[in-house]
């Protein structure tokens, strides 16, 4: 006899036990709101099919939605959902790329991308490792900013506001690097600054980002990251 808790977990897990719904959630890891039509085209399904799947994801609490005129926008419900999706993705074997375009997109994603609202891929790992080496971040018993790390954020003019439930710092298992990168409020603030300052720019329709020449200089000066590791 199944328990109520077991039934609830099974029902929740079933939300991602569908290739189309899983593809929607992975696409939304870019942290932006997508229209139902955009997701339908992304997953190559009919608009009616996309709408049905999105209804289930919203009802299950994985997505939130808002309407503006005739458009329906959806995004991941919160950072916790993004963390769950990324962690599950990290435990799956990457599918082989089909064609040159897919291989190029996969390479760009592995080089640098956003994971909901923080940096991931080799870029995210380079930042995480550099912060650790410089004594800004400690990984001894989970991720935590050191006093020097908090001071470093302040010197950059970045505010670490963590009054809500979201932790100041946490680790997030990178699904391409298979190691944890910086997440939490500290990761989100740094990612937002990197994009706003023009250190990184988004490329293509995926979550991939590219480090600009200005970003290479800034990350080299602030964290000692070699340019070659950012390309």
Residue 2 — very low, low, confident or very high, per pLDDT cuts 50/70/90?
A: low
| Signed CA dihedral, 187, 193, 199, 200: sign only | positive
What are the tens digits of pLDDT across the range 141-167?
A: 889 999 999 999 999 999 998 777 788
Does the residue 42 lie in any domain?
yes
Does the residue 91 lie in any domain?
no
Residue 102 — very low, low, confident or very high, per pLDDT cuts 50/70/90?
A: very low
What are the tens digits of pLDDT across the range 71-98?
A: 788 999 988 888 888 888 877 755 554 5
Structure tokens at 52: 């049905």
What are the tens digits of pLDDT across the range 29-75?
A: 887 889 999 999 989 999 999 999 999 999 999 999 988 777 788 99
Does the residue 88 lie in any domain?
no
Top-confidence residue, 193 or 105: 193
Counting residues of the chain whose pLDDT is more than 90, the rounded percentage is 57
Q: Which residues contact 91 (CB under 8 A, 6 or more apart)?
A: none
Provide the whole-model pTM: 0.71
Top-confidence residue, 63 or 230: 63
Q: Using CA atoms, how far apart are residues 209 and 197, in angstroms rounded to an integer?
A: 14
Does the residue 216 lie in any domain?
yes
> Tell me, what's the pLDDT at 105?
55
CA 33, 209, 155, 226: dihedral to nearest 10 degrees?
170
Mark whether 72 and 108 lie in a shared domain. no
Does the residue 28 lie in any domain?
yes
Q: Which residues contact 202 (CB under 8 A, 6 or more apart)?
A: 30, 114, 195, 208, 209
> Tell me, what's the pLDDT at 214?
96
Alpha carbon 148 to its chain centroid, in Å, reads 26
Total of domains in the chain: 2
Average per-residue pLDDT in the chain?
87
Does the residue 21 lie in any domain?
yes
CATH number at 60 reads 1.10.10.10
Q: Using CA atoms, how far apart are residues 220 and 231, in angstroms rounded to an integer?
A: 13
Domain limits at 222?
100-230
Mark whether 28 and 71 lie in a shared domain. yes
Mark whether 150 and 106 lie in a shared domain. yes
Mark whether 169 and 118 lie in a shared domain. yes
Structure tokens at 120: 């991931």
Q: How far lies 223's CA from each of 91, 126, 133, 214, in Å?
A: 30, 9, 9, 14
């Amino acid at each position: 006899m199944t328990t109520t808790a077991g039934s609830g977990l099974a029902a929740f897990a079933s939300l991602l036990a569908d290739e189309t719904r899983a593809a929607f959630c992975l696409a939304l890891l870019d942290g932006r709101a997508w229209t139902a039509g955009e997701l339908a085209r992304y997953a190559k399904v009919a608009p009616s099919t996309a709408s049905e799947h999105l209804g289930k994801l919203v009802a299950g609490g994985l997505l939130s939605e808002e309407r503006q005129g005739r458009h329906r926008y959806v995004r991941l419900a919160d950072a916790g959902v993004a963390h769950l999706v990324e962690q599950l993705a990290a435990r799956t074997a990457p599918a082989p790329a089909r064609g040159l375009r897919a291989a190029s997109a996969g390479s760009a994603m592995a080089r640098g991308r956003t994971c909901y609202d923080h940096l991931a891929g080799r870029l995210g790992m380079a930042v995480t490792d550099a912060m650790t080496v410089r004594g800004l971040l400690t990984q001894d018993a989970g991720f935590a900013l050191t006093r020097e790390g908090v001071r470093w954020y302040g010197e950059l003019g970045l505010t670490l506001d963590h009054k809500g439930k979201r932790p100041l710092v946490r680790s997030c298992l990178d699904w391409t690097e298979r190691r944890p990168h910086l997440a939490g409020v500290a990761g989100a603030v740094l990612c937002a600054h990197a994009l706003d300052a023009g250190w990184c720019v988004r490329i293509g329709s995926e979550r991939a980002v590219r480090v600009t020449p200005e970003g290479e200089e800034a990350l080299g000066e602030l964290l000692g990251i070699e340019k070659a590791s950012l390309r």
